[in-house]
Amino acid sequence: MDPPREKWKNKFNEWFREVIYKAEVYDYRYPVKGIGVWPPYGMKIRNNVISILKDLLNQTGHEEVLFPLLIPEEILRKESEHIEKFEDEVFWVTYGGRKKLERKLALRPTSETAIMEMLKLWIKDHTDLPFRIYQIVNVFRYETKATQPMIRLREVTMFKEAHTAHATMEDAEKQVRSAIEIYKKFFDELCIPYMISQRPEWDKFAGAVYTIAFDTLMPDGRTLQIGTVHNLGQNFSRAFEVTYLKPDGTHEFVYTTSYGISERVIAALIAVHGDDHGLVLPYNIAPIQVVIVPIPYKGTENTVFELCNRVIKVLKEIGLRVYLDDREDITPGEKFYYWELKGVPLRIEIGPRDVANNCVTVSRRDTLERKVISIAEIKTKIPELLEDIRRNLRARARKWLQQHTFFSEKLEEAANIVNNRKGIVVVPWCGDTDCGLNIEDSLEGSVLGIPLDLEINVKGKRCIMCGKEAKTVIRVSKTY
Ligand code: A5A
Ligand code: ZN
């Protein structure tokens, strides 16, 4: 069963802002544009997401580090393409107290430059490679496109950036593929469907040889970039003179990669799964996995609470995060709304009839279906239900993405899909940059790039723009 989606189809922004505020995930009332606050409930969600990400990185040879927030101007300027693009987005620290600084300091917009400066000191010979580190920090970007809570921030607070160095381009390529696998697992854990595309030349990361991006589809028909993997080749190592000693005694510049994720993934998680009642969280992300709402009538309080405690004990024993909502000043109905808003995957209601029948009433957040299960079954049925909700969320979201992906060889038809925000259109392309830019103009959307996760035979197909032989296909959509 699909949740009601009509409301947010046309009013997604309103829906999103209201939900993150009311569910206390993110408070965007802080008086600086593009900067918000994580209250306790949001922080718990965020920590669960971070812990999944960290586990995946730690298991694949990455080590956590912490680099400074400040980057001296001359270091940020060392790689010319990098600063060329970031120039307009950097926040500068120019004063120390009342004194103007002789050397301007940048608030990091990302850390390639700071890290390369240290890699030069750390990497000596081939045994130091491959080298893989990551950090989860805040970065600052003076974004000029419309800022959005969690989606386009000026202070990004959950910026996970991984940086690697390798002896050969081949190894760097291998790392790119490995990073893609890590991100696939990460998004699967979050039940977020994704498309993987190689960004066109004109939209790659500043200083990269090429960029692979993960995009998801938001309920309003626009796509959101939720992660990127960059092969930086020797662009940064040359600028920073990071070399290693080869076994044959000669020196060579290292090859580097970087890949990043931010709290945008939490925005995507909320947007993709949420409904008119609020958040819908997979259990591995939910701060509370099962909430218990007692429904005692006069005189039955003791037996009802006794059963509640028995159920809690069983669920805690199998490692679940359980919460008993025993507030007396609000009605059970109000509690239902409250926990639905917060996205708790399962609600267990316990009243006198449940006590009499030795069972409980369980309500699942994804479909809002209720069913009765016996006390004896709790231990096995609750984990099964939680897992089933996750499966359903993933399948439902994937289906939604598929249903909103189209193939078109006709300019007018493709433009209609993008313009009416029906989703993503895949079109044949000759590979020429001017043509690509014309496609963006005609479709009034952005080229996401060449799909890496779609097999489409372009034999005999013609470029949607110029009619020449198509070399490949590209995805186009409205974007955030
Ligand atoms: N150093 C590399 C990894 C880098 O900075 N890549 S990036 O610019 O593409 O950013 C990585 C990811 O961070 C993006 O894919 C996007 O999901 C997220 N991100 C970038 N700018 C953001 C912003 N202003 N607000 C929220 N998330 C942002
Ligand atoms: Zn063309």
pLDDT tens per residue, range 179-202:
999 999 999 999 999 999 999 999
Residues with CB under 6 A from ligand 1: 110, 112, 141, 143, 152-153, 156, 161, 205, 225-228, 230, 258-262, 264
Cα separation, 426 vs 413, whole angstroms: 11
Q: Ligand 2 center to residue 407 CA distance, Å?
A: 16
Q: Counting atoms of ligand 1 from 1, which one is nearest the CA of 265? A: 17
29 and 119, same domain (yes or no): yes
371 and 239, same domain (yes or no): no
Q: Counting atoms of ligand 1 from 1, which one is nearest the CA of 109? A: 5
Provide the token pair at 317: 């024993």
Domain count, the chain: 3
Residue 132 — φ and ψ, nearest 5°?
-135, 120
218 and 337, same domain (yes or no): no
Q: Whole-number mean pLDDT of the chain? A: 96
Q: Counting atoms of ligand 1 from 1, which one is nearest the CA of 227? A: 15
Q: What pLDDT does residue 137 have?
A: 98
Q: What pLDDT does residue 312 have?
A: 98
pLDDT over 70 (residue 346): yes
Q: What pLDDT does residue 297 have?
A: 87
Q: Yes or no: say if 109 and 70 are a contact pair by the CB < 8 Å rule.
A: no
Percent of the chain whose pLDDT exceeds 90: 95
Q: Is residue 284 domain-resident? A: no
pLDDT tens per residue, range 422-461:
899 999 999 999 999 999 999 999 999 999 999 889 999 9
Best residue among 133, 159, 163 to mutate for probing ligand 1's pocket (most ligand atoms within 8 Å of CB) is 159
Cα separation, 297 vs 237, whole angstroms: 71
433 and 462, same domain (yes or no): yes
pLDDT over 80 (residue 150): yes
Cα separation, 365 vs 279, whole angstroms: 9
Q: Which of 219, 243, 273 is the last residue of a domain?
A: 273
Residue 420, domain CATH? 3.30.110.30
Q: Is residue 391 domain-resident? A: no
Q: Which of 248, 273, 298 is the last residue of a domain?
A: 273
Cα separation, 4 vs 288, whole angstroms: 24
19 and 87, same domain (yes or no): yes
Q: Closest residue (by CA) to atom 4 of ligand 1?
A: 260
Q: Ligand 1 center to residue 21 CA distance, Å?
A: 23
Q: What pLDDT does residue 5 have?
A: 58
456 and 415, same domain (yes or no): yes
pLDDT tens per residue, range 71-109:
999 999 999 998 999 999 999 999 999 999 999 999 999
pLDDT tens per residue, range 397-429:
999 999 999 999 999 999 999 998 889 999 999
- Minimum-distance ligand to the CA of 471? 2
Q: Is residue 399 domain-resident? A: no
Q: Residue 228: which pLDDT band, with cuts at 50, 70 and 90?
A: very high
pLDDT over 70 (residue 1): no
Cα separation, 270 vs 284, whole angstroms: 14
Domain of residue 58 covers 5-273
Q: Closest residue (by CA) to atom 18 of ligand 1?
A: 262
Q: Is residue 229 domain-resident? A: yes
pLDDT tens per residue, range 236-284:
999 999 999 999 999 999 999 999 999 999 999 999 999 999 999 999 9
Q: What pLDDT does residue 9 have?
A: 62
As a whole number, mean pLDDT of residues 125-144 equals 97
Q: Counting atoms of ligand 1 from 1, which one is nearest the CA of 150? A: 26
295 and 269, same domain (yes or no): no
Residue 374, domain CATH? 3.40.50.800
Q: Closest residue (by CA) to atom 5 of ligand 1?
A: 110
Q: What pLDDT does residue 339 have?
A: 98
262 and 329, same domain (yes or no): no
Q: Is residue 412 domain-resident? A: yes
Residue 241, domain CATH? 3.30.930.10
By mean pLDDT, which of 9-13, 59-63, 203-207, 318-322 is the weakest? 9-13
pLDDT over 80 (residue 8): no
- Minimum-distance ligand to the CA of 431? 2
11 and 141, same domain (yes or no): yes
User: What secondary structure does DSSP assign to 112-162, as a single string?
Assistant: HHHHHHHHHHH--BGGG-SEEEEEEEEEE----SPPBTTTB-SEEEEEEEE
12 and 141, same domain (yes or no): yes
What's the distance, CA 208 to chain centroid?
21
Best residue among 83, 136, 154, 156 to mutate for probing ligand 1's pocket (most ligand atoms within 8 Å of CB) is 156
pLDDT tens per residue, range 113-127:
999 999 999 999 999
pLDDT over 80 (residue 48): yes
256 and 365, same domain (yes or no): no
As a whole number, mean pLDDT of residues 357-385 equals 97
- Minimum-distance ligand to the CA of 112? 1
- Minimum-distance ligand to the CA of 152? 1
pLDDT over 90 (residue 11): no
Q: Is residue 100 domain-resident? A: yes
Q: Residue 2: which pLDDT band, with cuts at 50, 70 and 90?
A: very low
Q: Is residue 468 domain-resident? A: yes
Q: What is the pTM of this model?
A: 0.97
Q: Counting atoms of ligand 1 from 1, which one is nearest the CA of 147? A: 24
Q: Which of 352, 386, 420 is the last residue of a domain?
A: 386
Q: Is residue 444 domain-resident? A: yes
Q: What pLDDT does residue 456 have?
A: 85
Cα separation, 130 vs 416, whole angstroms: 47
> 3-state class of 291 per DSSP?
strand
pLDDT over 90 (residue 223): yes
Q: What pLDDT does residue 6 have?
A: 52
pLDDT over 60 (residue 3): no
Euclidean distance between the first and final Cα of the chain, in Å?
28
Q: What pLDDT does residue 211 have?
A: 98
84 and 219, same domain (yes or no): yes
pLDDT over 60 (residue 61): yes
